[in-house]
Amino acid sequence: MIWIFAVVMGIGVAAGVYLALSRDLFRMVVGLSVIGAALNLLVFASGRLDSAAPPIVVAGTQILTNAANPLPQALVLTAIVIGFALLCFSLVLVVRLMRAADSDDAHRLRAAEPPHDAGLKPPLEEV
Amino acid sequence: MSADFDPAAAGVGRLLAYAALPLAMFLALATALASIPLPWILHWSWVPSLGVDLAFHVDGLAAQMLLLICGVGSLVFIYAAGYLAGTPRAERVPVLLSLFLLAMIGAVTADNLLLLFVFWEMTSVLSFLLVGFSHEQEASRKSAQQALLVTGGGGLFLLAGFLLLGDMAGTLSLRELIAMAPRLVDEPLLPLALSLVFVGAFTKSAQFPFHFWLPNAMAAPTPVSAYLHSATMVKLGIYLLARLDPAFGQLLFWDLVLIAAGSITALWGALHALRERDLKRILAWSTVSSLGTLTMLVGLPGATAPLAVAALLFSHALYKATLFFVVGNLDHGAGTRSIDHLSGMRRYMPWTAAAAALAAMSMAGLPLSMGFVAKEVIAGAKVEADLLAVVGYAAVIVGAVSVAVAATAAVHVFWGRDTCPRDADPHEAQWTMLLPPLALAALGLLFGIMPATVDPLLAEAARAMAPELGGLMVESAYDGGPVLGALALSLVFGGFVYAFWDRLHAALERMSWIDSFGPAAWYQRKLQALGQISAWHTQRLQHGLLDRYLLVLIATVTAAALLALSFAAERWLWPATQGINPPLLAAGAIVVAGALAALWVRDRFVLLLASGLVGYGCAALFLFAGAPDLAFTQFAVETVFVVVAAAVLPEIRGGATLAHALPIQRRVEPLKLLVSIAFGCALTLYLLLAAGQPLDPALSEFFGARSVPAAHGHNVVNVIIVDFRALDTLGEIAVLAFALLAAAPLFKLARQRRRETP
C-alpha cells in the first residue's frame, strides 16, 4: 500500500512542479493545485497505512482499536479545504494579472524587478 | 573658506573649550611621569574565558606616544578652534578628535592584543569620519572611503595575525608574548602570523604598497591632517612594530621585510613629493617618506636603531605638525595651497614664516634643531648596522628630497619674490592658529640646543624597544665625523633638488605611467570591479524571472534533501511490499493519468479537468485507505471547483485574445523536467524511508482513547476537527471566508464581461 502511495505521490508532485515551473501563469496555478493534492497523499501516508478501517469508534466501546490513524486524516482534511481556498484565490489573482499585463507570460510581470537595460535602475557607475 | 571667515561671529571660544580635555590629560601625564617611575600597570579582568582583559601597560615607548598624543593633541585642539570657527558643523571635529584622543591613548597603552585591536579599529573609524568631514564634496567622501577600506581592512589582517600569535603563545598579553617569543621561533605558522601583522601595521602607517590612502586623506581639515595623518595615528603601525621588535627582531625575515618595505616607501614617498604642487600633499608624501624611514629603522639591527626610532618619531611629530599648521595658515590667509601662487608671504604672515623656518630647519636636519639630533642618531644607527649600499643610496635621495621639501615650505613660500596679486589680500592668522606652530617649533629648537632635556624620554623609549640597552644617551650615540659628512651630502643634494624643483617636477609629471601602474590604480580597479561583480551577479540572480527563481529554489531544496538522505545511506530501511490491492491500484492510476494529461494538454479548460482528475483520484485513494471523510471532502471540493472554473471560463479560455499571449509550443524544457522528476523522486524516497522507521503513536492513541469519553463523538477525525482542534478549524473557516471575499470581485468582473459581450 505504501509503495502505491509513494509512487503516485512522486509522479503527482513531479508533474505539479513541472507545471508550476512553466512561464505560463495559468499552468503555474494548476501546477500549484496538483502539488497540493499530491502532498496531501504524502501527509496522509506518513501516518502509516496499517489498517483500512475508518477511524470510528465502534458503538458500545470507548476506545478506537484496529483502525486507520486519525491524526493525519484531520490534518489532511484541513489541508484540502485550505488548498481549495488557495486555488480559488490564485485563480482570481492570475486572471486579474493576465488582464492587467495583457499577457499570460510570467516574464512580462516585471514591474517590481525591471530588466537591467530598461533604464529604471541607476546605471552602473563608470569610473 | 577664508572668504566667509568671521572670527567675531564664530564660536572660537566654544571650540576652544574642547582643548581642556587634552590639556588636562597632558598636565596629568607630565606630572605623573615626573613623579611615578615607569612602567605603570593597570589590569582588570574583562572576558576571562576568552583571555580578553582590560590590561594597560605604560613603558617608555608608550609614554613617548602618550606625550605626543596629549601634547600635540592640545595644540591641535587650540589650532582647530581658530581654523574651524565659522565653518558649518565645526563642533563635530573637536568631538571626534576627543574620541580619537581616547582611542589613541587606549591603543598605545593596551597590553592585550584584542584590546589593542579594538582601539586600533576605533582610530580607523574616527579617521574615516574626520577625513569625510566635508562630506558634501565627492573627493572628500571617496578619500574617506579609501582610508577606511585600506586601514580598516588592514586591521582585519592584524586581528587574524593577533589571533594566530595568541594561539601559538597561549596568551593574548603583549608583554607575555614578547617574553616568550624566543620559544615561538620554530613555529611553522609564525611567518604567516607576522605577515598578517605586517599588513595591519603597513596599512595603518601608509607603507608601500598601502601608502596611497594617506595623501588622499588630506581632504580632511588641516588640524586633523596634522594630528591623525602626521603626528599620531599613522605612527600607530610603527609603534606596534617597535613594540614587537624585541620579540622578533632577531628573525632575518622580520628585519628584511621591514628594511625593504621601509626603504621602498621612503623612496616612493620622496619621488611623489616632487610630483605635487599642492603644499599639503607635498607634506603628505614627505610624511609617507618619513614613515618609511621609521619602518626601516625599526628593522635595523644594532643598539642605536631603537634610539633613532624614538628620536625620529619625536622630531617628526614636532616639525611635521608645525608645517601642517603653516599650510593651514596659508590656506586661510592667502586662500591657496599651491606653491605656484605662494611666494614671499613673510611680509604678510611674519609669525607663520618664523614657525615655518624653525620647522623646516628641523626637517632639513640643520644644526641646533631637534631634527639635527634625530639625523645624527639615524646616521649613527645606519653606520652601525653596516647597511647594503642600495639602502644607503636610497637614504641619500630621501634625505635630499626632505631638505628640498623643507626649503620649499619655508624659503620658497615665505622668502621668495612677492608675486602675490594685490586683490588676494593675504593676512596673518589669529592667535589660536599662531600659538600651536610657534610652540612646537620653539620646542624643536629647545630640544635641538639642549638634547639633554629630551634625553631621558628618548632613552626610556629606546629601552622599551631594546631592554638590553643600558643608560645610553643621545649625546653618546653620535660622534661627529662621518655623520656630519652625510649631513653635508644631503644638504648639497637637497639644495640641488630645490634649485631644480620645477624641472624635476616637470620631468616627473610626464611619468604618467606611475599613475596607471601604482597600487592606487590597483585599488581603483578593484573598487570598480566590486561594483561590476555586484552588477553582474545581480543581473544573473535577481533577474526578475519568476520561473527561474522557482527553478533555483526547488533545485536547491532537492539537492539538499538528497544530500541529507545520502549521508544516512547505510541506515536505509525499505518498507515491506504487501499484496496487490486492486482498488488502490486503480485509484492511483487515475491520479497518474490526470497528472500526465495535465502535462500534455494545452487547452486551459481541459487542463483544469485534468487537475480535477488528480483530485478525484486522490479522493478514491483516501476512500480505499480508510479515510472516507477525506474522500467525501475532496469529492465535494473538486465538484465545487468546477462551478468556480465555469465562472471564470470565458476569461481563461480567452488566452488568444491577450495582446502578448505566449505562443503555444509543445517543446519540453529538459532542465525543468529534470528538476521536477528529481524533486518527486526525493519525496518518494523520503516517504518510503520514513515508513520503514517506527512511528510515535502517542498523539493518535490519545485522540482514539479520549474521543468518546471526553467529547462523546465516535468519528475520531470529526472530533479532532471540531473539538480538540476547534480553534484551528475556526481559522480555517476564516481562510475560506477571506478567499471568498477576494474572489468576489472576479465573479463580478465575469458577469460584467458577459453583459458587455452578449
- In angstroms, the CA A105 to CA A88 distance is 20
Q: How confident is the model at residue B104 (pLDDT cuts 50, 70, 90)?
A: very high
B441-457 pLDDT, tens digit per residue, is 999 888 888 888 888 88
Asked if omega into B350 is within 30° of 0 (cis), the reply is: no
Looking at every residue in chain B, the average pLDDT score rounds to: 86
CA distance B609 to chain A (A): 10
What are the respective helix, strand and coil percentages of chain A, to the nearest 5?
60, 0, 35
List all residues of chain B from 647 to 676 with a beta carbon under 8 Å from chain A.
Answer: 648, 651-652, 655, 658-662, 669, 672-673, 675-676
Q: How confident is the model at residue B476 (pLDDT cuts 50, 70, 90)?
A: low
- In angstroms, the CA B679 to CA B674 distance is 9
Q: How confident is the model at residue B49 (pLDDT cuts 50, 70, 90)?
A: confident
B588/A contact by beta carbon, under 8 A:
yes
- In angstroms, the CA B433 to CA B429 distance is 6
Residue B656: the pLDDT is 56
Look-up: residue for cell 624641472? B503
Q: Are B376 and B483 in contact (CB under 8 A)?
A: yes
Looking at residues B262-267, what average pLDDT do you find? 92
Q: Which of A16, A57, A77 sits opposite B714 (nearest CB)?
A: A57
Look-up: residue for cell 483520484? B617
Q: Is the ipTM of this complex over 0.90?
A: yes
Q: How confident is the model at residue B568 (pLDDT cuts 50, 70, 90)?
A: confident
Looking at every residue in chain A, the average pLDDT score rounds to: 86
More confident residue, A102 or A6: A6
The DSSP secondary-structure symbol of B134 reads S
Residues 6+ apart with CB under 8 A from B519: B208, B209, B210, B211, B212
* Nearest chain A residue (CA) to B729: A78
Q: Residue B521 above 80 pLDDT?
A: yes
pTM score: 0.71
Residue B39: the pLDDT is 83
Q: Which of B641, B661, B749 sits opposite A104 (nearest CB)?
A: B661
- In angstroms, the CA B74 to CA B79 distance is 9
Residue B173: strand pairing partners:
B112
**Could you tell me what percent of chain B has a pLDDT over 90?**
38
Grid cell, residue B16, equals 576652544
**Could you tell me what percent of chain B has a pLDDT over 70?**
92
CB contact under 8 A, A74 and B621: no
B7: enclosing H helix or E strand: none
Q: Residue A127 above 70 pLDDT?
A: no
Q: In whole angstroms, what separates CA A8 from the centre of its chain? A: 15
The per-residue DSSP string of B139-197 comes to: HHHHHHHHHIIIIIHHHHHHHHHHHHHHHHHT--BHHHHHHHGGGGTT-TTHHHHHHHH
Which residues of chain A are within 8 Å of residue B617 when distances are taken between CB atoms? 8
Q: Which amino acid is at B633?
A: T
CB contact under 8 A, B672 and A99: no
Q: Residue B204 above 70 pLDDT?
A: yes
More confident residue, B512 or B92: B92
Greatest mean pLDDT among A82-86, B306-310, B511-515, B590-594: B590-594
- In angstroms, the CA B163 to CA B170 distance is 10
Q: Are B276 and B282 in contact (CB under 8 A)?
A: yes
- In angstroms, the CA B656 to CA A103 distance is 10
Which residues of chain B are within 8 Å of residue A116 when distances are taken between CB atoms? 535, 538-539
Q: Are B201 and B240 in contact (CB under 8 A)?
A: yes
Grid cell, residue B452, equals 639633554
Residue B223: the pLDDT is 92
Give φ, ψ of B429 to 5 degrees. Answer: -75, 165
Residue B470: the pLDDT is 61
* Domain A2-50+69-112 sits in CATH 1.10.287.3510: yes
Q: How confident is the model at residue A73 (pLDDT cuts 50, 70, 90)?
A: very high
Give φ, ψ of B170 to 5 degrees. Answer: 75, 10
CB contact under 8 A, A85 and B739: yes
Residue B56: strand pairing partners:
B42, B110
B704-715 pLDDT, tens digit per residue, is 999 999 989 899
Q: Residue B642 above 80 pLDDT?
A: no
Which range among A64-68, B235-239, B358-362, B480-484 shows the weakest confidence by mean pLDDT?
Answer: B480-484
- How many residue pairs bridge chain A and chain B with CB atoms within 8 Å of each other? 313
B552: enclosing H helix or E strand: helix B546-567
CB contact under 8 A, B679 and A62: no
Q: Residue A80 above 50 pLDDT?
A: yes
Q: Residue B323 above 60 pLDDT?
A: yes
The Cα-based distances of A29 to A33, A90, A106, B378, B608 in angstroms read 7, 7, 12, 81, 10
Looking at residues B553-578, what average pLDDT do you find? 88
